Structure 1
């Protein structure tokens, strides 16, 4: 089975770096590139796209809220029109840089609070995916299974790629345990490997409450800002390959 392993990339700013992007780019198959709002800048975006092109890694825009201090993880009081405009701005910026390097943006993956706000409002979710479709109807929308973003994207005829988050704890509803709560982010390497094996073998994950939750996905996400993210990504890739999976960029997977 073809499986995508993706990570949020280019999430530094100026002279500051968040993760080992070089190491991750050797490990993953798709990169969600920060576009300058929650993290990233023109130089980091340019370097990340160039590196992805060299490594044969698929790229997608990772739009977030304009919140460098909070790393885009704080919800903000912004209008639907502003959400639409800031997302379009970020995708377009990455498309321009990608074109310069002979690469192509093939997906969109919302960052943190941006995605949370989209999934809290069916009308907003629909408005955002309509804007994505207006930019490029070939773009795939990365999303959590069963959430408003998935339903909205499918309604307007966009492809979706649902995600399994290897380093985040799940609630029985299928939502993620909010960051800041105990156990929300999983750092233990063995625990992440066991979760990936369960997902690959049984198509499910054990929730934070101990119940079993089905997860329909073909792409596994590792957050680059999770401490030890490179080791986690390497371990997940090893699990995928050990269990007969073939690491494949998301845009090359057909269901």
Structure 2
């Protein structure tokens, strides 16, 4: 073969190989393109520089982009709990706890009532205002009198032990009467009688040195808050009463 022909053949073989791009390089370029597109929406400056550098290396014949780690997706940070949103739940929990304490006190008083067979004289009721303990006036007073009978003063002292609480609670003593008018040398009205009954009963309670007088108050409501009809003997007997209202803790009241 002549030298000219041989040289021509070598040039043709060289030209045939020069325009070929390895299949793997094409895939690498495509992969680089898709990664750039994928990362474009959420990429930061540092990651962009890394991808751009990698892409340039591929085009320049340097290391493949496959040597770089894929950018990590940013982790979602847990949102902080807003105190204003958490507070109502805490208040609800505190109110529930306070209610449970009053329910426990009610069970304690009911146990005392049952053990001493005082069901006709004392009753308890849990209300929105607090724990209400009702004493019929016949258990403490003679008719038209505001003085606690000597033989019943011990009942008031035993009740005072049930009111020793930790922490202490505010307690309101209320006197009530029926609507039968009263006007004697001692009392001008049922209102006056109800006031003195609540005060005299509270005095005996506060003989207990474990009770703090600053948590107690007395009031008279006369005939104006009946719980039964005044048209019958039975109804009027229910209306003549002294009530002990044990309040929820002050900071929990609406």
TM-score, normalising length: structure 2: 0.31
State the structure with bigger RCO (CA 8 A, min sep 6), 1 or 2.
1
Which has more radius of gyration?
Answer: 2
Report the TM-score, using the length of structure 1 for normalisation: 0.31
Higher strand share: 1
Query: Of Structure 1 and Structure 2, which has the larger fraction of its residues in helix?
Result: 2
